[in-house]
Amino acid sequence: MAIIRVRNLEKSFGKLHVLRGIDLDVKEGEKLVIIGPSGSGKSTLLRCLNMLEVPTKGTIEFAGEVITDPQADLPRIRKDIGMVFQSFNLFPHKNVLENITMALVIVKKMEQAKAEELALSLLEKVGLSDKARNYPAQLSGGQQQRVAIARALAMQPKVMLFDEPTSALDPEMVGEVLEVMGALAREGMTMVVVTHEMKFAREIGDRVIFMDEGVIVEEGTPEQIFTEPRNPRTRSFLTRVM
């Protein structure tokens, strides 16, 4: 069953026509990888999926609900859609534990003690049990990104969206973040991941989409896309990045 269903999605910023008719289904449990050149609309697509950007045209269904409907209850729907950005976006004046518990207490109305218990179990999962009382600035980039993942997971989302989660990291920290994402994938989380990490895409991806200039140019299994891309634009992109 498709948990995300996108039909004829278009997004313009003024005269700039960024998404030009995207059709996309993401099945429950699926790991979808999105690749494509800078400026092709990958982030805009991801941001439309949780309505951080309001589409200009088209519809998006999430878990059977049309979220592009003006009447849609976006705050409720967004709780089910976790997002991790390239820049970790942690609250700098809150410690790690508070970064994770805040939304639980405020949005989910969870008791503080319960929120902390959940936060600590998630910190353990991302390998940061010992950093609960540290502030973001005291952590490495890789550690901050793992906190951001734990924070998103705390809301117990149905889907996780990752927008180039390792692009801002020093190379030696990429692995620890991909490891956490890989574990999440193996647990069965539905994931949409924009990434240039082709090896990771191969390992965890069920399907790869190549986007260029606001359209899906080609899609297939990682094997197909990486070893025998059919479209010349896909081929030329891959020779540049691989």
Pairwise CA distance, residues 205 & 202, whole Å:
6
Residue 195 in contact with ligand ADP, rule: CB under 6 A: no
Sole binder of ligand ADP in the list 8, 39, 54, 203 (CB under 6 A): 39
Burial category of 71 from C-beta neighbours within 10 Å (exposed 0-12, middle 13-18, buried 19 and up)? exposed
Sole binder of Mg ion in the list 43, 99, 143, 145 (CB under 5 A): 43
CB of 195 to ligand ADP, least distance (A): 11
Which residue, 97 or 192, has its beta carbon nearer to ligand ADP?
192
CB of 164 to ligand ADP, least distance (A): 8
Pairing of strands 190-194, 159-163: parallel
Which residue, 36 or 165, has its beta carbon nearer to ligand ADP?
36
CB of 165 to Mg ion, least distance (A): 11
**Distances, alpha carbon 80 to alpha carbons 4, 45, 74, 127, in Å:** 12, 17, 10, 24
| Identity at 233, one-letter amino acid code | R
Q: Which of residues 10-29 bind ligand ADP (CB under 6 A)?
A: 13, 16, 18
Query: What region does 116 belong to: left with phi over 0, alpha with psi -120 to 50, or beta?
Result: alpha
Residues 190/26, Cβ–Cβ less than 8 Å: yes
Residues 165/192, Cβ–Cβ less than 8 Å: no
* Residue 11 token pair: 């997004």
CB of 38 to Mg ion, least distance (A): 7
Partner in contact with 113, chosen from ligand ADP, Mg ion, none, beta carbon below 5 to 8 Å by kind: none
CB of 215 to Mg ion, least distance (A): 16
Q: Which residues bind Mg ion (CB under 5 A)?
A: 42-43
Q: Which residues bind ligand ADP (CB under 6 A)?
A: 13, 16, 18, 36, 38-44
